[in-house]
Amino acid sequence: MVLREVLAVAVLILFPGTAMTASSGAPASLDHLPPMVFYVAKGAPDACGPGCDSWIALEGMVDAGAADRFRKFLRRQQDRRLPMYFSSPGGNLDQALAMGRMLREKPTIARVARTVVKECGSEPQTGEACLVLKRSGRVLEAELAEQGAMCNSACPYLILGAAAREIAPNTVLAVHSPKVILSIRGKPSEKQRAEAVQRGMERANRIVAVYLARMGIDRGLLDLAKTVKFESPHVLARDEIFRFGIDRREFVETPWQFENAGRAFVSKIAIARTSDGATFRTTQLRLFCDGKDRARLMLVREFDKSAIGTSSVALIANSEKPLTFAVLPRVGGFEIRSAAIASDELKNFFAAPHLQVGEITPLPDGKSTQAIFEIETRGLEGAWTQLSATCAAPPSSAGRSIDVPGMAKAPAL
């Protein structure tokens, strides 16, 4: 975050610690990062949600002139209320807060994702040729990429200005305390330097506290950020995102997406608030080819510590016969389930806007709980079409395993 305060002896600058060197994790210089750019992108039908194919992309470092450019950009958009997707390492705090106040005057939804402009081709998205396109004022054909997209440092404060914020479970919000770098005027003493740094820190905390109160965000966000070292940004957990009021949805899910990381598959992530109201539970669904005429659906999720024994889970499309999962050996704190599906049966999934997931969980007192929740099928048919083009006869199951992010390899399917 960057914050300027003109003093007799110094200009105070607070930089984000979110640009890291690959080797050490220490802050890298932000001088090479392009300043924030704003443009309208257009994707496939429903690319940004049901009935939504166009959005505003905001990406790059929040530089000293970002707020003025953003004001002019919004003026050109007139009454269009497109969702906004952010991808930023942070930057100037004063500018981020000013932009956030502008968002509050123009009701919109803020989300985190990278916008991949197709016309850039093999050119890096931050390459000069691609940036020229993004600054052209044209509507650019693009795709959204949520996986691993980041909004760090000053960026989370910026998006708090939006009337609605939807943080996908596969994206990152990170905060930290600021670092004060003095740009010296004259020859200040060590005491003057220390006092200047202290005033800068106090001012940053003061203006952020006022801003959070105006945006209806819990002061706990600032209290947390103040404890986080500049060199080691803290990635907000889902319960923190919920508790601070950044995104108060109790159930969050991604669309189904085709991925090809060594082995091709279709994936979906869902995060649900648990019955205790204080924690969230993550579930990942992965759909694999299992030969030309069969698919295999794997369900991986955090183990329910309140359960005793093994719960049963079924997936239902409309009123069709439930798809039941076989339980595989647990890996770490995760439970893994698997079910085979004939390729033709997937058509029932495509035809349903939602799938129902039912679960019966045995409890220590001999009773059991029953829960049913729904997940969207948005993106499933298109992703399966991509996956099925890669299908071939399955390899021998002996020793075959699946990599699960953040886990050891899951057992053979």
* Domain stop point among 204, 223, 243: 243
Q: Which domain holds residue 165?
A: 10-243
Given the DSSP bridges, would you call strands 109-112 and 84-87 parallel, antiparallel or unpaired? Answer: parallel
The reported pLDDT for the residue numbered 145 is: 94
Whole-number average pLDDT of the chain? 83
Confidence of residue 359 (pLDDT cuts 50, 70, 90): confident
* Cβ proximity of 342 and 294 under 8 Å: yes
Segment among 38-42, 125-129, 232-236, 277-281 with least mean pLDDT = 277-281
Segment among 200-214, 267-281, 317-331, 383-397 with least mean pLDDT = 383-397
pLDDT for residue 140 is more than 90? yes
**Mean pLDDT within 167-186:** 84
* Of 46 and 408, more confident: 46
Query: CB neighbours (10 Å) of residue 362?
Result: 15
Residue 106 is inside which H or E element, if any? Answer: none
Residues 219 and 290 in one domain: no
Confidence of residue 239 (pLDDT cuts 50, 70, 90): very high
Dist CA 24 CA 26 (whole Å) = 5
Q: Is residue 211 part of a domain?
A: yes
Residues 282 and 150 in one domain: no
Nearest to 297 by CA among 253, 356, 335, 342: 342
pLDDT tens digits, one per residue of 312-353: 888 888 767 888 898 888 887 888 999 999 888 888 899 888
* Domain stop point among 222, 243, 264: 243
pLDDT for residue 255 is more than 80? yes
CA-to-CA separations, 220 to 44, 94, 155, 206, 366, in angstroms, rounded:
39, 20, 17, 14, 39
Residues 296 and 170 in one domain: no
Nearest to 288 by CA among 255, 258, 268, 266: 266
Query: CB neighbours (10 Å) of residue 325?
Result: 18
Residues 324 and 227 in one domain: no
Q: Is residue 412 part of a domain?
A: no
**CA angle at residue 130 from 86 to 145, to 5 degrees?**
40
CATH number at residue 267: 2.60.40.1880
Residues 239 and 304 in one domain: no
* Lookup: tokens for 385: 């079409």
Percentage of residues in the chain having pLDDT higher than 70: 84
Residues 149 and 39 in one domain: yes
Q: Is residue 407 part of a domain?
A: no
Domains in the chain, number: 2
Identity at 274, one-letter amino acid code: T
CATH number at residue 136: 3.90.226
Residue 112 is inside which H or E element, if any? Answer: strand 109-112
pLDDT tens digits, one per residue of 47-96: 999 899 999 999 999 999 999 999 999 999 987 889 999 999 998 889 99
Confidence of residue 106 (pLDDT cuts 50, 70, 90): confident
Return the sign of the alpha-carbon dihedral for residues 341, 347, 351, 353: positive
* Of 252 and 292, more confident: 252
User: Dihedral through CA 53, CA 111, CA 104, CA 78, nearest 10?
Assistant: -20
Q: Helices 190-214 and 93-105 sit at what angle, rounded to 10 degrees?
A: 10
Nearest to 347 by CA among 292, 385, 296: 385
